[in-house]
Amino acid sequence: MTSEDDPFHDCELDPEAILGTHTFEDVLFTDETETPVNVLTGETPAHSQATVEEAKEFAASIDTDTPQIALPASVESQVETQSKPYTAAAFFHFKATGSLERHRAYHAAYESDAFAVDFEADYESGDLTITVERADES
* Residue at 3 is within a domain: no
Within a domain: 10: no
| Cα 27 to Cα 70: distance, rounded to the nearest angstrom | 9
Any domain includes 8: no
pLDDT > 90? residue 59? yes
Domain that holds residue 64: 15-134
Q: Give the pLDDT band of residue 116 (cuts 50, 70, 90).
A: very high
What's the average model confidence in pLDDT over 98-126? 97
C-alpha distances (whole Å) from 100 to each of 5, 33, 54, 118 are 22, 23, 27, 19
Look at residue 7 in the predicted model and tell me its pLDDT.
87
In a domain, 7, yes or no: no
Residue 93: inside a domain: yes
Cβ–Cβ under 8 Å, residues 82 and 39: no
Q: What is the mean pLDDT of residues 31-50?
A: 90
The answer to whether position 123 is within a domain reads: yes
Domain count, the chain: 1
Res 4: pLDDT: 61
Q: Using one digit for the tens of pLDDT, what is the confidence trace for 66-109?
A: 999 999 999 999 999 999 999 999 999 999 999 999 999 999 99
